[in-house]
Amino acid sequence: MSIQIRNISKNFGKFAALKDVSFDVGSGELVALLGPSGSGKTTLLRVTAGLEFAEKGKILYGIKDVTERSAYQRKAGFVFQHYALFQHLNIFENVAFGLRVRKRSERPSEPQIRARVEQLLDTVQLREFAKRVPAQLSGGQRQRIAFARALAIEPEVLLLDEPFGALDAKVRKELRHWLRNFHDTTHLTSVFVTHDQEEAFEVADRVVIIDKGVVQQIGTPNEVRENPANRFVEEFLDLGRDSVPV
């Protein structure tokens, strides 16, 4: 399932967060939205998810125009920076949530839900934590559960908002590798937002560099490094291999 973002413009009051942004995400691609704080990358992701609506432009999933649809109609899995797990539910129920809220006609039976959840927990290697609550898990574990939860609904696209931003360096690296491997196996069309260029270059097939609501450059990590499109991209990437300070 490809994603096509066409001429998206979004304002918050007088502030123009996104100005005529367009690009495509090919089916099965893993794309990073890279940029400094305030660049609009998170806003763009949320518009893509249906958590915000743009004033102008279109979003297409494949050939479906989903611009008018709200998030709960879009079937886009979303992973939040601070996990947003349901604190009052245990891990099993967190992951099962998306299945339980389906319309009666589409809802799987209890054994089916159980099977699916257990399978997902295995994928993230947290099966034994099923009865615990989020408060009892470490940051990294919570994020893996957040993944599992998003994947439970069999999404057509996966959107991740600075998924490792709240984790310490070591865990971040681990999960980065894990994400890349996961993507290589499933080929689920994914877009993730980050301000960490090392992360973007390591994980993504292609990067979209954004600043001040405008796309600066799109390309594979190599392309961008070898042929920076403008001054901003140069400076942004030339600030060493460390993360750009927010």
Partner 1 sequence: MAGATTTFRTKVVAPRRATAESPWIKGTLISILLLFFGFFLILPLYVVFHEAFSKGAGVFFKTFQDRATAHAIWLTLLTAAIAVPLNTVFGVAAAWALTRFQFRGRSLLISLIDLPLWVSPVIGGLIYVLVFGRQGWFGPWLFEHDIKIIFALPGIVLATTFVTFPFVARGLIPLMQAQGHKEEEAAMTLGANGWQIFWRVTVPKIKWGLLYGIILCNARAMGEFGAVSVVSGHIRNKTNTMPLHIEILYNEYQFAAAFAVASVLCVLALVTLIIKTYAEWQAERQLRAAAESVE
Binding site for partner 1 (CB under 8 A): 49-51, 70-72, 74-78, 80, 82, 84-88, 90, 97-98, 101-102, 128-133, 135-136, 149-150, 152-153
Rounded least distance, CB 99 to partner 1, Å: 9
Q: Which is nearer to partner 1, 10 or 206 (CB)?
A: 10
Rounded least distance, CB 71 to partner 1, Å: 5
Q: Which is nearer to partner 1, 5 or 85 (CB)?
A: 85
Q: Which is nearer to partner 1, 101 or 239 (CB)?
A: 101
Q: Which residue has the tokens 């989903």?
A: 66
Rounded least distance, CB 28 to partner 1, Å: 21
Phi and psi based region of residue 83 (left: phi greater than 0; alpha: psi -120 to 50; beta: remaining): left
Rounded least distance, CB 5 to partner 1, Å: 18
- Spatial distance between the Cα atoms of 137 and 150, rounded to a whole number of angstroms: 18
Rounded least distance, CB 91 to partner 1, Å: 10
Strand-pair category, 30-34 with 206-211 = parallel
Biggest CA–CA distance in the chain, Å, is: 57
Q: Which is nearer to partner 1, 44 or 85 (CB)?
A: 85
Q: Which is nearer to partner 1, 59 or 224 (CB)?
A: 59
Q: How is residue 97 written in tokens?
A: 């949530």
Q: How is residue 188 written in tokens?
A: 């689920």
The CA–CA distances, whole Å, from 119 to 99, 143, 174, 228 equal: 14, 17, 21, 43
Sign, CA dihedral 75-113-188-91, equals: positive
- Spatial distance between the Cα atoms of 240 and 38, rounded to a whole number of angstroms: 20
